[in-house]
Amino acid sequence: MKILVTAKRVEDPESKIKVKPDGSDIVKEGLKYKINPFDEIGVEEALRLVAKHGGEVVVVSIGGKEVQEQLRHALAMGATRAVWVNHTGTLDQMGVAALLQKVADKEKPDLVVLGKQSIDDDQNQVGQYLAEYLGWGQATFASKVESLESEQEKSKSPALHVSADGKSVRVVREVDNGLATIECTLPAVVTTDLRLNLPRYASLPGIMKAKSKPIEELTPQKLGVDVTPKVQVLKMASPPARKAGIKVPDVATLVDKLRNEAKAL
């Protein structure tokens, strides 16, 4: 089977994010970047499926030249080849989904795997839009409970299970009150949740091999997509600073303050 996965370039979650004084954007200088952690989980799941069913994993990323770093990371983990949509301007979630739709039209994958959301914009929308644009089924928040993490349990009941005839995928989804299992006809769009798997390291030999794996360059023009954003960011601001807390000497004072000052009890 052929699986298309995404690799968005996002700010390293460990970096300190500050908003520019004019509120136009965040301060980008000195920031480190990495692959969106949910996308990394998607790459891992795709590699595991391909190891089981054969086929290839194609990784796609949208952005300037710098996103090649994230593509190489996915290639180093084991993806077969990469597609780079070279676009440096602003994009909204519809724009991203429209570009991915064209890439999917071109690649004709059996499955598209994306992170459930990216840790920068926190939208949680692209996978759903993409399924709509493609007219495919979607399974969001693919997950499994930790008790299923043992190798034995996992092979018995994987979160993503492609049917024997290769025509459908059964997905265990994380929903508000537990887990829900659904079945989608392939091709389909799946978005990953945190508990799906533990991504492998891009091993040193993998990093060396990734240097020679192909990256195909596309542009919105070549794909024939108008990506003019429909959503516009007006201003960014830091969250209001929290007032300094106090230390209470004992439980009685704590309860008293919760009841009489915070009115929380």
Residue in the structure block whose two tokens are 């025509």: 167
What are the CA-CA distances from residue 224 to residues 8, 70, 80, 102, 232 (Å)? 21, 24, 25, 8, 22
> What tokens does 153 get?
């349990």
Residue 72 is a binding residue for other proteins (CB under 8 A): yes
Residue 202 is a binding residue for other proteins (CB under 8 A): yes
Residue 73 is a binding residue for other proteins (CB under 8 A): yes
**Which of 61, 68, 93, 191 is the binder for other proteins (CB under 8 A)?**
68
> What tokens does 64 get?
């300037």
- Taken in order 201, 8, 69, 11, is the CA torsion positive or negative? negative
Distance CA 25, CA 221 (A): 26
> What tokens does 75 get?
């290639």
Region near other proteins per CB under 8 A, out of 36-44, 70-78, 155-163, 181-189: 70-78
Q: Which is nearer to other proteins, 203 or 219 (CB)?
A: 203
Residue 15 is a binding residue for other proteins (CB under 8 A): no
**Which of 91, 206, 218, 225 is the binder for other proteins (CB under 8 A)?**
206
Residue in the structure block whose two tokens are 């004709």: 108
Dmax of the chain from CA atoms? 68
Residue 216 is a binding residue for other proteins (CB under 8 A): no
Residue 182 is a binding residue for other proteins (CB under 8 A): no
Residue 43 is a binding residue for other proteins (CB under 8 A): no
Distance CA 29, CA 45 (A): 33
Region near other proteins per CB under 8 A, out of 18-26, 66-74, 118-126, 218-226: 66-74
**Which of 54, 178, 205, 249 is the binder for other proteins (CB under 8 A)?**
205
Residue 210 is a binding residue for other proteins (CB under 8 A): yes
Residue 108 is a binding residue for other proteins (CB under 8 A): no
Distance CA 130, CA 138 (A): 9
Quick check: 177 and 229 in contact, CB under 8 A?
no
**Which of 16, 211, 242, 243 is the binder for other proteins (CB under 8 A)?**
211
Q: What's the distance, CA 66 to chain centroid?
A: 18
Residue 34 is a binding residue for other proteins (CB under 8 A): yes
Residue 164 is a binding residue for other proteins (CB under 8 A): no
Residue 52, helix vs strand vs coil: helix
Region near other proteins per CB under 8 A, out of 39-47, 119-127, 156-164, 197-205: 197-205
Residue 69 is a binding residue for other proteins (CB under 8 A): yes
| Residue 203 CB contacts under 8 Å (≥ 6 apart), including other chains | 76
**Which of 122, 155, 164, 201 is the binder for other proteins (CB under 8 A)?**
201
Q: Which is nearer to other proteins, 195 or 213 (CB)?
A: 213
| Residue 185, Cβ density class (10 Å: 0-12 exposed, 13-18 middle, ≥19 buried) | exposed
Q: Which is nearer to other proteins, 48 or 73 (CB)?
A: 73
Residues that bind other proteins (CB under 8 A): 34, 68-69, 72-73, 76, 201-208, 210-211
